[in-house]
Amino acid sequence: MAEAILGSEFPEPPGVARNAALMQRFAAQLGAQGRRVVLITSGGTKVPLEARTVRFLDNFSSGRRGAASAESFLRAGYGVLFLHRARSAFPFAHHFPPQAWLSALRPARSEPEGPGGRLLLEAEAAALPGFADALLSYQDAANAGTFLAVEFTTLNDYLHLLQAAAQALSPLGSNAMFYLAAAVSDFYVPASEMPEHKIQSSGGPLQITMKMVPKMLSPLVKDWAPKAFVISFKLETDPSVVIDHARKALETYCHQVVVANILESRRSYVVIVTKDSETQLSLSDEEMEKGMEIEEKIVSNLQSRHIAFINEKN
């Protein structure tokens, strides 16, 4: 099935089979508990321009939407399969950049001294507000087996891992949710047309023709996980077209929800678009000052819709 869609232009990268097995085990364990499980895709994809890659095309996505949403879904009791761009924002860690903890944490004691001992670290609580809670939340989820992170870097990694993840979650039926927040490249250079070596600047100005990437929403909804609750995202820079484009996506792919957002306001305003509704969600200045994130509202809204969807199917 994937081969028909991805074809020889997207050869399977190493590690997909191992990750597929991990994801299947994760889904089976949570499925046996009757738990709802969400696949979150997060971050941008890298598109190589050369086989031995020196240059590549990338995009703006930081992965913050995906990381913050993963935290909210875990709090809501979901199992979270977090398919994310390597080194993009990570749940529970993205509030704490390295410079914050590198300067706040100090070695307190090592007992006994040496590599086999226990290293104790200390910090002023005020220097790292929320750090201990974040650590505990992450470790609780990891120990309970409700969180699994899988990394991608290139577009090709993403496409193969998305398919493997969708097939892993498919047996959960309507209990599975797909939350496709990743900003996936629409363009790529086919492997057969890619130069092997670094493109030389001595060749003069560069002209590249890129092909269209197949939209994965189509096989996902039709073939890979046809009973699941599927949410795609639509980002635009022109507010006058975003709702229209969200509606077109719903018509084309026949999935349940599109979350529409605008580049500059995406942290404070989104519209949840369904076949017959448009719900605006926003953060007030006061909520933003308190550190609230729009993802709490998005996840709460989608959780209610998912439960209604499951009830309707059963």
For the bound state, the minimum distance from the C-beta of residue 152 to ligand PMT, rounded and expressed in Å, comes to 12
Quick one: CA dihedral 77, 257, 20, 172, positive or negative?
positive
For residue 270 the two structure tokens come to 């989104």
Per CB under 6 A, the list member of 61, 146, 256, 303 interacting with ligand PMT is 61
For residue 279 the two structure tokens come to 């719900």
Per CB under 6 A, the list member of 128, 165, 176, 184 interacting with ligand PMT is 184
Per CB under 6 A, the list member of 37, 40, 148, 180 interacting with ligand PMT is 180
For the bound state, the minimum distance from the C-beta of residue 5 to ligand PMT, rounded and expressed in Å, comes to 10
Q: Which stretch binds ligand PMT (CB under 6 A): 120-128, 146-154, 197-205, 231-239?
A: 231-239
For the bound state, the minimum distance from the C-beta of residue 204 to ligand PMT, rounded and expressed in Å, comes to 31
**Binding of residue 167 to ligand PMT (CB under 6 A):** no
d(C-alpha 93, C-alpha 139), whole Å: 12
**Binding of residue 230 to ligand PMT (CB under 6 A):** no
**Binding of residue 271 to ligand PMT (CB under 6 A):** no
Core vs surface per residue 109-120: b (16+ CB within 10 A) or e? eeeeeeeeeeee
By C-beta, is 146 or 261 nearer to ligand PMT?
261
Per CB under 6 A, the list member of 35, 227, 247, 266 interacting with ligand PMT is 266
Angle at 185 between CA 181 and CA 186, to 5 degrees: 110
**Binding of residue 261 to ligand PMT (CB under 6 A):** yes
Q: Is the separation of the CB atoms in 271 and 243 below 8 Å?
A: yes
Number of amino acids touching ligand PMT (CB under 6 A): 22
- Report which of 79, 142, 91 is spatially closest to residue 293, judged by C-alpha positions: 91
Quick one: CA dihedral 75, 235, 275, 226, positive or negative?
negative
CA distances from 106 to 72, 101, 119, 124, 170 (A): 30, 9, 10, 10, 46
For the bound state, the minimum distance from the C-beta of residue 31 to ligand PMT, rounded and expressed in Å, comes to 23
Using CB under 6 A, list all residues that contact ligand PMT: 41, 61-65, 180-184, 186, 213, 215-217, 232-235, 261, 266
